[in-house]
Amino acid sequence: MIIEDPETAKLLLDKTRRRILHLLKAGEHSVSELSSFLGLSPQAVSYHLRLLEKHGLVEVARTVSKRNLIERYYRASARIFIVSYVVFESEEFKGRVLDITSEAIDALGLKIDREKLAHLMRKYLALKSRAIEEVISRRRKPLCRELAPIVNFLAVMRMVTDPEFSKLIREYREAERSGPSA
């Protein structure tokens, strides 16, 4: 599934929702099962499932009635979720990338302007996502998770031959030499 909506992409920034999706890609699970696996309350799991379902990332696979209780079993809507380059180019995503790059500068001791790094990171993510979309657009049958490293490899091979990628490398090197702005 290619995610083109920035609001849907934002859902994947949450670690709990990513863990739920990972479990649901492996098989069907109920709220109580997910709650047990994740060590969260059923209410918390239900909240995350509602958001994921609203955005089409999960779906009800089946419903089981046990006495007076109706239990829904959920599954992921796709085996692989790819965030489209369209999201990385959106203004909504800009602030989140800036937050992440600020954290990376502190954690990794980088000597680069945070605005410039955020700009370069958005360009990189858009190039990589576009390359992945190009690779999977040629698929002849559904992809399984085991093919993800191959898809990634092919996307990187496409990226490094793209003139925009060479330009991105030059911009990064210049930003590194310039250092952070005062």
pTM score of the predicted model: 0.64
pLDDT one-digit tens code per residue, 76-135: 998 878 777 667 777 777 777 888 888 889 899 999 998 899 889 888 988 988 898 888
Query: How many C-beta neighbours within 10 Å does residue 92 have?
Result: 12
The domain segmentation of the chain, as residue ranges, is: 2-76, 84-178
Return the biggest CA–CA distance within the chain.
68
How far is Cα 42 from Cα 36, in angstroms, rounded to an integer?
9
Q: What pLDDT is stored for residue 30 in this prediction?
A: 94
**Radius of gyration of the CA atoms of the chain, in A:** 20
Q: Which two tokens stand for residue 61?
A: 């696979």
Q: Which two tokens stand for residue 164?
A: 């925009």
Pick the CATH number of 2-76 from 2.130.10.10, 1.10.3190.10, 3.40.30.120, 1.10.10.10: 1.10.10.10
pLDDT one-digit tens code per residue, 131-146: 988 888 888 887 777 8
| Confidence check: pLDDT of 28 > 90 | yes
Range name among 59-68, 79-88, 148-157 with the lowest pLDDT average: 79-88
Which residues are CB-neighbours of 112 under 8 A, at least 6 positions away? 105, 175, 176, 178, 179, 180
Tell me the C-alpha to C-alpha distance, in Å, between residue 156 and each of 122, 131, 159: 16, 7, 5
Query: How many C-beta neighbours within 10 Å does residue 181 have?
Result: 9
- For residues 25 and 12, the answer to whether their CB atoms sit within 8 Å is no
Per-residue DSSP letters for 119-177? Answer: HHHHHHHHHHHHHHHHHHTT-SSPPPGGGHHHHHHHHHHHHHTSHHHHHHHHHHHHHHH
Tell me how many degrees the CA angle 141-142-145 measures, rounded to the nearest 5: 135
User: Quick one: which H or E segment has residue 51?
Assistant: helix 42-54
Who has greater pLDDT, 180 or 145? 180
